[in-house]
Structure 1
Amino acid sequence: MKQLVNKNLITLKCVLFCFLSGIGCIFPFLPLHMLSVGLDKGEARLISAVAPCIALLGPAVLGPLIDKLSVGRGSTGGATNPSGSGRLLRVITAACLILSAIFYTLLLAVPYTERHEARRPEVLFMCDEDSAYVMQEVCKEDMRCNRWSGEKSGVLAVTACEYGCADENMTWVKQPFTTTSTTTTLSPMYLSVANATTSAPEVTEDDEVRHAMPFEVNPPHFCYNGQCLVYMQHQARLRVPLSLIAPELPEDNSTSDSDWCTYRTAGPSKCQVPPNRLAEVSESDDCRPAVRCQVLDPYDEPDGVLADAECRLIIGDPSYTFWTYLIIRILSDIWPTAGLALLGTACVIATRETSLGRGDVGRQLAFGTIGLAIFPPLAGLAAEQMPDTPFLIPFVLHAVFMFIGALILLFDSHMPLSTPEWWWHTATGVLAMPMNTVRRYGAETAAVFAVVALLGTLWSGIDAYLPWTVQELNGTVTEMGLTLTAGALPAVPALWWAEALVDYIGHSNVFIMAFTFYGIRYTGLAYSTDYTWVVVCEILEVFTLSLVWVTAVLYFRHLVPRKYTATGQALPVIAHFCIGRCIGAIIGGMVSLQQPLQAVRMVYRSMGVVALVVAAVYLGLYHLLLAPRCAAPAVSPPHHLLQGLNRTNGTTNGTYSPMRVYHEERSRKGHFRY
């Protein structure tokens, strides 16, 4: 009777349990943590896309490095000391886990920033015979005026200009505008200062009939740097070009200004007020003749001089926060992706799969998935109990699990991680398949790599921003952790029997099934109205991620020669969790910021259609074109393989069915349907 649990693999199961538990404690909360430090969703989307793209350096470098440094170690360790030759893999994997714990914890030290929505205070315009003034309400958020160095040039759109008397407190300027303003029916014009006149322009009777408006004498003139503009009502908007000088700071460096900020023009400016109009507005001898205008769209006017002068309350430095988070996040994502590739390598080597039997890769992953089902909701529950520092516990739990896994790797010298050259033998020492007979299937490897990358894109399109979707549906932090539990629980039994299941179904059918269920998941999420439907869609992740991942691990195990085992296990990680994750984050991030939930549903509908179309194309391409052409007749197994079977009490019916793959199905690496 086959032993249910291999005692030699218990420590490896514990490492996988710690690794996936640590990943589960942090992964669903990263999108929320980015927003909690003050990043906006646009910056968070950029980080989510850039980080996995650069994270591929981890598996891409460490995988080949492990293979290169392992060459020859089998001869030094040999069959007498197989565990000693796995020390390199254990140490580097432990280093990846430790670095993951350190860098993700550093994200807690990213400086906080806060940006409140801009407020647009009122803006007024006034000019007299000495100068012109632009007045803006002071920003109440920090009681400061907007200030800049030197001159700031632009235009100011004004309307409803009228004559009046100004005093030192600008009382008249701040009063509400009357419904009647001093206007004219003439079009705006530029006049030189020498030609600027206070007399009424001459118009004919036909002009008055054509304009159908009363002619007005002496319209307001604004003169700046030797040119004058005339305001007319029918134009409704007069664009005044000018340069402004910001008010100076108070001598005591206090943060409080008056209720209004007054900006003076940099060049000589004045308003010409005719004496006869002055008599109409005031009979006082101390009247200060002036013209005031109402300002139109001061913050939205093209080339506006006050285009960026809204009142903004900013705490911290948003730019510094963004770049600090981006750099640390990039350095953080490198190590778990590299660790996943190396742990996949450890599973393949430790389970000792040979041509005479099937390994237990799926069972190792199943044990680790238990941690992925247990700890994410517990981390979310702990976060809810600490509203002031909600993400402290998830990040600390991640670090603790990673350190525990690293310690197990460093101190368990009996973990069966000998080099590939040694374990590619049968139990009796007979060479099951000479290494020189293993062929490289580059085209097939590239095809499977592309399929896994596409599946990773569909996965990331959901999971990269799923916490935001749950938040939009009023879900709690605990419920966000439960989404991982919903996907991990059914994956445990599926992974336990994964190798037999994949062997029976065939790898292509597993991938076709995954695309089909992605279509169902996306469609369900597109029409989800509450959290319950999100959980139901997450249960289907057993078909779209768990079985897909173990299929990729098993398939690359057979495609890649044993001396490149680490490189072979790095390929699906790069395809799914780096390239696919990057593309999916970009696609999932193409949503409207004004209506995020509706925009996300639109993306989900589109991705659902794409997934179903790919499934249909893949189904037709494989079963109607590739499978019939690649079918190979049964052939007798190699003579040395028959001898090996006989020596190990194996049985054979005299035929040998090659692995079903994209090439001509003549691989002799195993008996499995791939």
Structure 2
Amino acid sequence: MSKLVNKNLITLKCVLFCFLSGVGCIFPYLPLHMLHVGLNRGEARLISAVAPCVAILGPAVLGCLIDKLSVGRGSTGGVQGTSGSGKLLRMVTAICLILSALFYTLLLAVPYTERHEARRPQVLFMCDADNTYVMQEVCKEDMLCNSWSGVKTGVLAVTSCEYGCADDNMTWVKQPFPTTTTTTMNPAFYSDNRNMSSNFTSFDEVDEDEYEIYPPHLCYDGQCLVYMAHSRRMRVPMSLEAPTPPADNSSGTDSWCTYRASSPSCSVPSERLPESSVMESECKPAVRCQVLDPYDEPDGVLADAECRLTIGDPAYTFTVYLIIRLLADIWPTAALALLGAACVIATRETSLGRGDVGRQLAFGTLGLAIFPPLAGLAAESMESPFLVPFVLHAVFMLIGALILIFDSHMPLSTPEWWWHTATGVLAMPMNTVRRYGAETAAIFAVVALLGVLCSGIDAYLPWTVIDMNGTMLHVGLTLTAGALPAVPALLWAEALVDYVGHSNVFISAFTFYCLRYTGLAYGTDYAWIIVCEILEVFTMSLVWVTAVLYFRHLVPRKYTTTGQALPVIAHFCIGRCIGAIVSGMVSLSEPLQSAREIYRALGIASLLAGAVYLALYHLLLAPRCAARPVPPPHHLLQGLNANGGSNGTYSPMRVYHEERSRKGHFRY
């Protein structure tokens, strides 16, 4: 038991437990919270894509800053400075946790907005020799007419024009159009040999040429449009003035907004009116037409006149949420990089054995498995459903910060030596950094690509769960399904990665991503999501510990924090941003079906990426990157001889070596 639990690392485990518990309590519910405050899915996708880009500032700036402040202030000749004792790393990490708790809690104060789906009221069109009238049903929600200042210019598409008599009450234009039995759906006109009790009729059985002798003329700015019976659609240009509201403000069926326009005017010959109407002295000749797609017509004069009920200010809500979210995402991302550096430093690898980074992460992953579903279950019984997840996040982050502030015995002093204890200080020269630059960039790109595939699932998975009639408890259980199998895997992660090799771990991750995407694409219920999340142990947990271990060996000691910031930037910033953009390219009308199509495409892409990486690594990179023994520096040779066991040669760690070195047989 003493081998599994190092008493010096208990507080570090507690910090990781609090950090991952806080992250698990809030991050799966952020996509749902954005919709809860009134943002639409397009705005939520924009925030999900932009926030990781800004979050790069956290690990990039703080990682470099801590490494720079630690240079020259670490241990020299057994004397440790402030940064050498790990106080700087502890304090900065604690500040990140506190700021994360603060900014995410501020999201609860974002003003609420509500936008109901637009209702498209009926639109009528009529014109006479003097005026043009466009009538729209009053929006029943707020009984207001769409208004504007001045004159609004656009077009109105009409069809099925017919003659009749207008009156001051607009009785005729409000009556329904006749239905026709013809298959061609040609417009009908009034005939002078038909008596109509309602002032209109249809003429399906009459020769349509007879009714095109006097077609309606709609004149606008000196130009006339002639409506013919064979026409299907006529775009009428017009300029509408501000509408006249109904006389009463009731919600009756006769409430209409009337838009007036001086043009177009209509010429209506008396020959085209019914005989009964011609005999009436009060008959006002007019033409009415059916209106086609008043809200969808390109350049339509009523294109933005739908009935909308809006509570609050959507633009203000979006702006405030975006700003707070951008500031909030910086701090947990930075804290992840700093805690990764803390694990590397605290579990420093010696010649007596390997470190146990995986064991620290395994203990923290327990919090990721326990608390997200509990937060979701509590949220379902609350009037304010997102209060519990946000409060739990703040509590866990503050507890972790307090441990970091008051525990001065946490083993975060700058290590003397990565692989054994020596009397002198080993500093890898800059030419070594440049030598491994290409390999660092290559692994950075691989981790970023894996981050894209990870975000392609996690960014909007809560929406998929809700679309499948799931609950917030079900959303939290998706994290539990992925975290529980990761606990035993992380306990022996270093030995597993050493045995399998980092390249094979990454190749396996691409393969399992293909399986996950395939399951999500063809799964029909929540059980499929859980099965796919169980596979996350191969696509996330082992990948992440492999990246931490790889950059631990690749980056020189004095750049430890920067080295641990690199995989965070690649996976959780760049990869998360691109993944949110790719998986967010779904149809708003059919989000679930469209998401499944994207899952199929990403599944194929992940399989191809794994095949390409497999070929490049085993056929090109591995044969060319074998480690070659080189003479060590003189002072280094003395240090090795002083510890006994030097054979006179020194081989710096190569990324793709298959040799046995003093640090053990690590296949990197």
- TM-score when scaled to structure 1? 0.88
Given residue 171 of structure 2, which amino acid in structure 1 is its aligned partner?
Answer: T
Q: Is 1:473 the counterpart of 2:468 in the alignment?
A: yes
1:20 Cα offset (Å): 0.3
Q: Summarize deviations over 1:129-185 as a string: whole Å, max 9, x none.
A: 33111111111121111111111111122223233222221111111224584379x
Contact preservation (8 Å) 1:83, 1:417: no
Q: Which sits farther off after the overlay, 651-660 or 8-17?
A: 651-660
**Distance in 2 between the 1:610 and 1:117 partners?**
36
Which residue in 2 is equivalent to 1:305? 301
1:294 Cα offset (Å): 1.9
Contact preservation (8 Å) 2:246, 2:256: no
1:236 Cα offset (Å): 3.3
1:274 Cα offset (Å): 2.9
Contact preservation (8 Å) 1:154, 1:241: yes
Give the match's secondary structure for 2:86: helix
Which residue in 1 is equivalent to 2:18? 18
Contact preservation (8 Å) 1:632, 1:666: no
Cα 1:228–1:317 change in 2 (3 A) is same
Contact preservation (8 Å) 2:125, 2:133: yes
Contact preservation (8 Å) 2:136, 2:258: yes
**Distance in 1 between the 2:245 and 2:659 partners?**
80
1:639 Cα offset (Å): 4.6
Cα 1:439–1:357 change in 2 (3 A) is farther
How many pairs were matched up? 640
Cα 1:503–1:433 change in 2 (3 A) is farther
Contact preservation (8 Å) 2:143, 2:249: no
Q: Is 1:289 the counterpart of 2:282 in the alignment?
A: no
Cα 1:52–1:264 change in 2 (3 A) is same
Which residue in 1 is equivalent to 2:561? 566
Which residue in 2 is equivalent to 1:117? 117
**Distance in 1 between the 2:545 and 2:273 partners?**
88
Q: Is 1:514 the counterpart of 2:521 in the alignment?
A: no
Give the match's secondary structure for 2:74: helix
1:663 Cα offset (Å): 7.7
1:389 Cα offset (Å): 1.4
Which residue in 2 is equivalent to 1:61? 61
Contact preservation (8 Å) 1:23, 1:372: yes
Matches within 5 A, 1:204-603: 213-214=209-210, 216-247=212-243, 259-265=255-261, 267=262, 270-277=265-272, 280-282=275-277, 283-386=279-382, 388-420=383-415, 422=416, 426-427=420-421, 429-431=422-424, 433=426, 435-436=428-429, 439-440=432-433, 441-603=436-598
Alignment RMSD: 3.1
**Distance in 1 between the 2:505 and 2:81 partners?**
38
1:353 Cα offset (Å): 2.4
Q: Which sits farther off after the overlay, 171-180 or 296-305?
A: 171-180
**Distance in 2 between the 1:489 and 1:323 partners?**
38
1:75 Cα offset (Å): 4.8
**Distance in 2 between the 1:172 and 1:464 partners?**
55
**Distance in 2 between the 1:286 and 1:507 partners?**
92
Given residue 570 of structure 1, which amino acid in structure 2 is its aligned partner?
Answer: A
Given residue 432 of structure 2, which amino acid in structure 1 is its aligned partner?
Answer: R
Q: Which sits farther off after the overlay, 255-264 or 6-15?
A: 255-264
Cα 1:442–1:653 change in 2 (3 A) is closer
**Distance in 2 between the 1:60 and 1:434 partners?**
22
Which residue in 1 is equivalent to 2:132? 132
- One of 650, 661, 669 as aligned partner of 2:655: 661
Q: Is 1:611 the counterpart of 2:606 in the alignment?
A: yes
Q: Summarize deviations over 1:295-320 as a string: whole Å, max 9, x none.
A: 22222222221122122222222222
Contact preservation (8 Å) 1:159, 1:237: yes
- TM-score when scaled to structure 2? 0.88
Q: Which sits farther off after the overlay, 341-350 or 596-605?
A: 596-605
Identity %: 76
Matches within 5 A, 1:78-93: 79=79, 85-93=85-93
1:268 Cα offset (Å): 5.2
Q: Summarize deviations over 1:379-421 as a string: whole Å, max 9, x none.
A: 11011112x311110011001111111111111122122235x
**Distance in 2 between the 1:77 and 1:652 partners?**
23
Contact preservation (8 Å) 1:380, 1:480: yes
Give the match's secondary structure for 1:244: strand
Which residue in 2 is equivalent to 1:620? 615
Which residue in 2 is equivalent to 1:199? none
Contact preservation (8 Å) 2:166, 2:286: yes
1:451 Cα offset (Å): 0.9
**Distance in 1 between the 2:591 and 2:253 partners?**
39
**Distance in 1 between the 2:538 and 2:664 partners?**
25
Give the match's secondary structure for 2:375: helix
Q: Summarize deviations over 1:605-640 as a string: whole Å, max 9, x none.
A: 222222222222222322233323333478999754
1:442 Cα offset (Å): 0.6
Which residue in 1 is equivalent to 2:51? 51
Structure 1, unpaired ranges of 5+? 185-210
1:327 Cα offset (Å): 1.6
Cα 1:436–1:667 change in 2 (3 A) is farther
Contact preservation (8 Å) 1:15, 1:408: yes
Given residue 403 of structure 1, which amino acid in structure 2 is its aligned partner?
Answer: L
Give the match's secondary structure for 1:304: coil
Contact preservation (8 Å) 1:158, 1:237: yes
Give the match's secondary structure for 1:223: strand
Give the match's secondary structure for 1:247: coil
**Distance in 1 between the 2:84 and 2:446 partners?**
37
Contact preservation (8 Å) 1:159, 1:233: no
**Distance in 2 between the 1:383 and 1:481 partners?**
11
**Distance in 1 between the 2:458 and 2:642 partners?**
47
**Distance in 2 between the 1:219 and 1:295 partners?**
18
Cα 1:614–1:181 change in 2 (3 A) is closer
Give the match's secondary structure for 2:225: strand
Given residue 155 of structure 2, which amino acid in structure 1 is its aligned partner?
Answer: V
Which residue in 2 is equivalent to 1:206? none
**Distance in 2 between the 1:303 and 1:493 partners?**
62
Q: Summarize deviations over 1:511-559 as a string: whole Å, max 9, x none.
A: 1121121122222222212111211111111111111111111111111
Contact preservation (8 Å) 1:425, 1:431: no
Contact preservation (8 Å) 1:433, 1:641: no
